[in-house]
A = this chain, B = another copy of it.
Amino acid sequence: MSLWPPDFAGRIDERTIDSRLLRGNPLGDPHRRPLWVYTPPGYDDEPERRYPAVYMLLGFTGTLPAWSNQPGAFRTSVPVATDALFARGEAPPMILVFVDAWTSYGGSQYVDSAGTGRYHSYLCEEVVPWVDARYRTIPDRDHRAIAGKSSGGLGAMITSMLRPDLFGAFATHSGDALSEAQYIPHFLQAVRDLRAYGGDVFTWWDDFRSRTAFTKQEDLRLLEILAVSACFSPGADGTPMLPFDPVTGVLRPEVWERWLRWDPVRMAPAHAEALRSMRAIWIDAGTRDEWFLDLGALAFRDALGRAGVAEDTVRFELFEAGHVAIEYRHPQALAWLAHRLAP
């Protein structure tokens, strides 16, 4: 019985990487990691042909099998929709690499962190070479892109800025950006949530792990804040440090500043050259995104302009939607990238 429909024209290999870098990570999460590699229709018929590759990053709480989820009736999953584009010849074929960077807190934000592990390095130094060694990619940055939604969009932006030698294009859908817009309203609400837990996020965390997850309204909000704290602001021993006082909501500047260092809007000036080197940048977000990532998208585009990125490199769109059920944007961006990256 197959995970994919009968008319699936390409193929998805479900692989496992034994990561050296994730071995002994602080949370005791697995170092053997699943990886899905999609090869497009025709891949086996043209054994000499090489393809651009796009690394696909998951959003917060996402795990690899979610890519195959049936996203409600009347829609298709990202691999199925993208495969159909290739099969119909509407976009030049590419290899897609679905990366797992899950942690016990729900995600890694694709950074190296003393709180979670070296997920940035894992992606750049282990996954990319592993794929290039086993699949017929065009193994250079001009034909390698990275894409994601939400936290995955953050990963696409920051990884491209940090490693322009590896990635020459990226797509971000409702990607984390403009941290005060994204987080402050949620911090404020979290303070109210925490009143039921004596102002202690770890009391909530113990409760959360003792029962069915996400049965309380505050669960996702508190989990996200705890997880990002683990990624961006772990203490010396790896314990997540919240960027605000859990009783008053007052920002803790020294902690909050560590979060801001990962804000793509604030990172852009220092990585202007990397950004100018990109061959293609897709940015989109929903007009009523619950994390105000539409403003994040606008601010990041603005930052690109000030960094000197040429306008025709960037494809920008705000679309009528919130933050969820927007997986249909992926195939649109992939088709656009495919045309830009085609050899």
Q: Is residue A87 contacting chain B, with contact meaning CB distance below 8 A?
A: no
In the complex, which of the residues A214, A245, A287, A299 has the most CB atoms of chain B within 10 Å of its own CB atom?
A: A214
Q: How far is the CA of A287 from the CA of B251 in the complex (A)?
A: 19
A97 to B: closest C-beta gap in Å: 16
Kindly list chain B residues whose C-beta atoms are within 8 Å of the C-beta of A185. Answer: 184-185, 188
A332 and chain B: residue at smallest CB distance? B212
- In whole angstroms, what is the CA distance A69 to B188 when docked? 33
Q: Separation in Å of the A99 CB from the closest CB of chain B?
A: 15
Closest 10 CB pairs of A and B: A74-B213, A249-B295, A61-B73, A248-B299, A65-B70, A69-B69, A248-B298, A185-B185, A1-B14, A188-B292
Q: What chain B residues lie within 8 Å of A321 (beta carbons)?
A: 215
CB pair A248 B295 closer than 8 Å? yes
Kindly state whether residue A162 has any CB partner on chain B within 8 Å: no
Could you list 17 further interchain pairs (A-B, Cβ under 8 angstroms) beyond the known A66-B72, A181-B184, A215-B321? Answer: A1-B14, A63-B70, A66-B69, A69-B69, A72-B214, A73-B106, A74-B106, A74-B213, A75-B212, A75-B214, A181-B249, A184-B184, A215-B319, A215-B328, A216-B320, A245-B302, A248-B302
Chain A 153-187 against B: per-residue CB contact (8 Å), 1 yes, 0 no? 00000000000000000000000001011001100
A124 within 8 A of B: no
Minimum Cβ distance to chain B for residue A43 (Å)? 16
Question: 1/0 per residue A58-89: CB within 8 Å of B?
Answer: 00011101101110111100000000000000
Count the copies.
4
A214→B325 contact, CB < 8 A: yes
Listed A/B pairs (23) with beta-carbon separation below 8 Å: A1-B3, A1-B12, A1-B14, A2-B3, A61-B72, A66-B69, A68-B68, A68-B70, A178-B250, A181-B188, A184-B185, A185-B185, A185-B188, A192-B287, A212-B328, A215-B319, A215-B320, A215-B321, A245-B299, A245-B302, A247-B302, A249-B295, A250-B299
CB within 8 Å for A73 and B69 given contacts A249-B298, A250-B265, A302-B250: no
Closest to A187 in B: B181
Give chain B residues whose Cβ lies under 8 Å from the Cβ of A295: 188, 191, 248-249
Nearest-neighbour CB distance to chain B for A79, whole angstroms, equals 12
Please indicate the chain B residues that have their CB under 8 angstroms from the CB of A265 in the complex: 250
Q: Which of these, B1, B192, B215, contacts A2 with CB under 8 Å? A: B1
